[in-house]
């Protein structure tokens, strides 16, 4: 490889530079464990830690159920049939990781999957079953066998969120703080994370007040950042907050160029971008272009059940070739699609489509951030006191691409493992929060139109850092993003909306830099100017701080994590 290091630039400016308060005057909430995020990874961590006796606080940016988990329509992968086993599940996961998955992590999570499903069943989760009462296991792209558990057809995330919130709310050691936006990490004099600044909603008035949350361990389970892109399956709250805070704190992040697109969202003018689950194609639905041609057979031997990156690129190219804004999903081969997929049938009917007879217009959208904060099997990051789980973490499970329905599994299994170990960390006897003095309390003369800036960001990332990328587009995107970050630092308001925009721009800068750095195509990252997968690039891209500067480097796949004995569940 000709290039193994690259300069990113100074650490982005903190939103606290626009805060007109002294930290010493803010109210303080104290716990053993602070979890940021209430999706599957965050709540699994919180429940496991609380079961061990920790006092846990969970911060939710909106309501507790407003998470990517809630909107997950696919399912949870686990080797639950007589014909399947965790080794086969692990082999499929490694194959879809395109050489960047960590076999130790993959083996541990797939091995723990059946027990995790039993835990969910014992917690009251309802999975779909066939007439004989057995689990109804579905198939998705990349899985060689049916191993996808679903609830209510495409309502798995909703049911999972219900079960975990119920367990958390009933636990005497867990406090949930809704409508609370985490803003920035704080450290003690020795550089360990000891808490964070947040903006908490002020009653019903709609205003927000800054508060401090202090804890021995801070766990980021803040999800991804699909809202950085114009087309996404993610809810409005998915603005990459955890990643942005980690980058500004100097924590190592890796493989951010791997942004996975879901191939099929409902694409109609004025309609919300409703995700159409891969299980629909697993039941026989076929992708067709405007001429009625089924084109996936020419793209991959698995046709419509090819890996998501391949399906997304095939749709994108067919759209370019036909000059259309979408392709079509034909459900005519699916038996009773209205009964099999009631939520999709209701949405389609509202826009005048009948699943029995009409093809549905679809196109790809950003779905999942494969890269994230570098974290080991215990959730530890490169900064003492900071842990990461779920979509905002990079554990080595997904590699360069995510196999369908593996994300809920990772969040559940890894979250429980991390939560069980958090109290093993020695508790700090000193909690000296680093002082932060705002640079300027005066209101700027110029005012930012945050909605316009957000739209410009989403459009830029979709055009130039989207499904297909090249050096010219990435370079231009980086110049624009750097300029936006510059005046955001001076003009960005210290409000939840202002913090969100700053977070999205900072993470967009990091994604663009990583995509420029990796001069090949692999998994969810495709460079039209470097279309081949290159053996010399079977490495992780790593962005981390050196003093007040950020640097990119290439890191070997094996041996990147601290050596440890994997934690075990009490079965």
What would the pLDDT profile of 434-463 be if each residue is shown by its tens digit?
555 555 556 666 678 999 999 999 999 999
Structure tokens at 227: 């809202």
Comparing 25-34, 85-94, 557-566, the range with the smallest average pLDDT is 557-566
Task: Decide if 288 is catalytic.
Answer: no
Nearest CA among 480, 570, 411, 560 for reference residue 103: 560
Predicted confidence (pLDDT) at residue 563 exceeds the cutoff of 50: no
567 — pLDDT class (breaks 50, 70, 90) = very low
Q: Does residue 25 register a pLDDT over 90?
A: no
Residue 115 has pLDDT above 50, yes or no: yes
Distance CA(285)–CA(291), nearest Å, equals: 17
**3-class SS at 288?**
strand
pLDDT at 270: 75
pLDDT at position 442, please? 61
Give the list of residues 6+ apart from residue 460 with CB closer than 8 angstroms, or none. 477, 480, 481, 508
Which of 151, 124, 123, 158 minimizes the C-alpha distance to 136? 151
Please tell me whether residue 180 adopts helix, strand or coil conformation.
Answer: strand
- Helices 40-51 & 406-421, crossing angle to 10 degrees? 30
Least confident range from 18-27, 161-170, 181-190, 537-546: namely: 18-27
The CA-to-CA distance between both ends of the chain, in Å, stands at 46
240 pLDDT more than 50: yes
3-state secondary structure of 554: strand
Residue showing tokens 């803010």: 26
Which structure tokens are listed for 236? 């409005």
Using one digit for the tens of pLDDT, what is the confidence trace for 364-409? 999 999 999 999 999 999 999 999 999 999 999 999 999 989 999 9
Q: Is the distance from CB of 444 to CB of 490 less than 8 angstroms? A: yes
pLDDT of residue 431: 59
Q: Given pLDDT bands bounded at 50, 70 and 90, which one contains residue 566?
A: very low
Range with the largest mean pLDDT of 258-272, 296-310, 463-477, 535-549? 463-477
* Residue 105 predicted with pLDDT over 50: yes
State yes or no: pLDDT of 232 exceeds 70: yes
Q: Which residues are registered as beta bridge partners of 195? A: 186, 214
pLDDT digits (tens, 9 = 90+) for 300-337: 999 998 888 899 999 999 999 999 999 999 999 999 99
Indicate the DSSP class of residue 565: P
Say yes or no to pLDDT of 141 above 80. Answer: no
Task: List, as one string, the DSSP characters of 66-130.
Answer: -STTTT--S-EE---STT--HHHHHHHHHHHTTT-S-HHHHHHHHHHHHHHHHHHHHTT----B-
- What is the rounded distance in angstroms from the CA atom of residue 466 to the CA atom of residue 451? 21
Please provide the average confidence, as pLDDT, over all residues in the chain.
Answer: 91
380 near 562, Cβ under 8 Å? yes
Which residues neighbour 59 within 8 Å (Cβ) at sequence distance 6 or greater?
A: 34, 35, 36, 37, 38, 177, 180, 182, 198, 213
Which of 308, 402, 416, 421 does the annotation list as catalytic?
308
Q: Are 514 and 371 in contact (CB under 8 A)?
A: yes
**DSSP structural state of residue 566:** P
The arithmetic mean of pLDDT across residues 118-133, rounded, is 95
Whether the Cβ atoms of residue 563 and residue 380 lie closer than 8 Å to each other? no
pLDDT at residue 261 above 60?
A: yes
b/e per residue 189-220 (b: at least 16 CB within 10 A): eeebbbbbbbbbbeeeeeebebbbbbbbbbbb
Buried b / exposed e over 69-83, threshold 16 CB at 10 Å, is bbbbbbbbbbbbeee
- Print the SS3 string covering 11-47: CCCCHHHHCCCCHHHCCEEEEEEEEECCCHHHHHHHH
CATH topology assigned to domain 262-366: Flavocytochrome C3; Chain A, domain 1 (3.90.700)
Most confident of 160-164, 348-352, 420-424: 160-164
- pTM here is 0.92
Residue 333 CB burial class (10 angstroms; 0-12, 13-18, ≥19): exposed
| The residue to which tokens 């924590």 are assigned | 251
Q: Which residues of 130-146 are buried (b: 16+ CB within 10 A; e: fewer)?
A: eeeeebbbbbbbbbeeb
């Amino acid at each position: 490889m000709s290039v193994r290091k690259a300069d990113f630039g100074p650490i982005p400016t903190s939103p606290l530079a626009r805060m007109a308060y002294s930290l010493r005057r803010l109210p303080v909430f104290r716990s053993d464990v602070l979890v940021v995020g209430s999706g599957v990874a965050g709540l699994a961590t919180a429940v496991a830690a609380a079961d061990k006796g920790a006092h846990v606080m969970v911060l939710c940016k909106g309501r507790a159920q407003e998470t990517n988990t809630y909107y997950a329509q696919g399912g949870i992968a686990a080797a639950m049939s007589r014909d399947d086993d965790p080794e086969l599940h692990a082999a499929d996961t490694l194959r879809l990781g395109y050489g960047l998955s960590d076999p130790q992590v993959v083996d541990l999570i797939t091995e723990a999957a059946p027990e995790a499903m039993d835990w969910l069943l014992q917690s009251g989760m309802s999975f779909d079953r066939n007439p004989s009462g057995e689990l109804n296991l579905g198939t998705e792209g990349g899985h060689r066998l049916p191993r996808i558990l679903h609830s209510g057809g495409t309502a798995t995330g909703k049911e999972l969120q219900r079960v975990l919130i119920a367990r958390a709310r009933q636990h005497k050691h867990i406090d949930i703080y809704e409508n609370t936006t985490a803003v920035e990490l704080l450290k003690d004099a020795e550089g360990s994370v000891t808490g964070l600044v947040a903006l908490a909603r002020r009653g019903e008035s709609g205003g927000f007040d800054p508060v401090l949350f202090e804890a021995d361990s801070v766990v980021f389970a803040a999800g991804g950042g699909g809202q950085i892109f114009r087309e996404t399956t993610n809810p409005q709250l998915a603005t990459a907050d955890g990643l942005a805070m980690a980058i500004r704190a100097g924590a190592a992040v890796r493989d951010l160029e791997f942004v996975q697109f879901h191939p099929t969202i409902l694409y109609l003018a004025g309609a919300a971008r409703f995700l159409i689950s891969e299980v629909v194609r697993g039941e026989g639905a076929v992708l067709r272009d405007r001429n009625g041609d089924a084109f996936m057979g020419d793209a991959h031997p698995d046709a419509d059940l090819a890996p998501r990156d391949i399906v997304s690129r095939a749709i994108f190219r067919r759209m370019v070739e036909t000059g259309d804004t979408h392709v079509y999903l034909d459900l005519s081969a699916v038996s009773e699609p209205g009964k099999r997929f009631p939520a999709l049938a209701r949405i389609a009917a509202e826009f005048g489509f009948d699943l029995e007879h009409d093809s549905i217009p679809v196109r790809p959208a950003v779905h999942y951030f494969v890269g994230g904060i570098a974290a080991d099997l215990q959730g530890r990051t490169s900064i003492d006191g900071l842990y990461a789980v779920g979509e905002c973490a990079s554990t080595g499970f997904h590699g360069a691409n995510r196999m369908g329905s593996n994300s809920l599994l990772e969040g559940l299994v890894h979250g429980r493992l991390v939560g069980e170990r958090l109290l093993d960390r020695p508790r700090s006897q000193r909690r000296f929060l680093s002082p932060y003095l705002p640079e300027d309390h005066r209101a700027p003369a110029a005012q930012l139109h945050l909605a316009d800036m957000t739209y410009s960001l989403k459009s830029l990332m979709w055009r130039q850092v989207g499904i297909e990328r090249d050096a010219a587009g990435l370079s231009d995107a980086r110049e624009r993003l750097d300029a936006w970050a510059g005046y955001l630092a001076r003009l960005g308001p210290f409000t939840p909306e202002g913090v969100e925009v700053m977070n999205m721009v900072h993470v967009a800068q990091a994604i663009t830099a990583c995509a420029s750095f990796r001069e090949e195509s692999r998994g969810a990252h495709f460079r039209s100017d470097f279309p081949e997968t290159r053996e010399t690039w079977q490495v992780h891209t790593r962005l981390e701080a050196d003093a007040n500067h950020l640097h990119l480097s290439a890191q070997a796949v094996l041996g990147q994590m601290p050596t440890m004995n994997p934690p075990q569940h009490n079965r």
